Every structure is written in C-alpha cells, then in structure tokens.
Amino acid sequence: MRLRVEFTTEPFDLDEAPAHAVVARDVVEAAELDEVDVGPFGNTAEGGADAVLTAVDALLRRSLEAGATRITLQVNVVEEGGR
C-alpha cells in the first residue's frame, strides 16, 4: 500500500523557518520516501505505508519537541504507480 501525507507545522513565521519546521523537513527528507515536496505553507511526502507511517511518527515527536504547537496532517491511500 502507498500513502501520501500532507502536513504543516505551526506557529508560522514568514521571515525565518522556525526550528519545528526545519526538523519536520529534515525528518521527511531523511526518510525512505519516494517523493518529498517541502514548501513554505505545506509539505507532501509519498511512499510505502511502513516508510510513511514511520516518518509521520518521527515528524510528530520531533516537531513537538522542537516547539510546534500544532501539526496538521492528512494521510491518503494512493494508487500504486502514482497520484
């Protein structure tokens, strides 16, 4: 099964990426995911279910430890072979 996770961390800071946002980016970029798109207002990552769920666990734990006060995420099952 393939999953896609879309997430944001808060609070926002438009001048400089806060520590929790940097941590979240580092987590998904280091994970064994097939696709990662990191942006200023939202982030998307896609891969096998185990890899995505492991990344989500680390993302939640590490972002909260780094000061996130809210993490919004959505996980979707995607068809094999793409969007």
- The reported pLDDT for the residue numbered 1 is 95
**30: Cβ–Cβ under 8 A, 6 or more apart, which residues?**
none
Q: How far is CA 51 from the centre of its chain?
A: 12
Selected residue with higher pLDDT from 16 and 69: 69
- The reported pLDDT for the residue numbered 81 is 60
**pLDDT tens, position by position, 28-41:** 999 999 999 988 77
Nearest to 73 by CA among 34, 42, 32: 42
**pLDDT tens, position by position, 2-35:** 999 999 999 987 788 899 999 999 999 999 999 9
| pTM recorded for the entire structure | 0.87
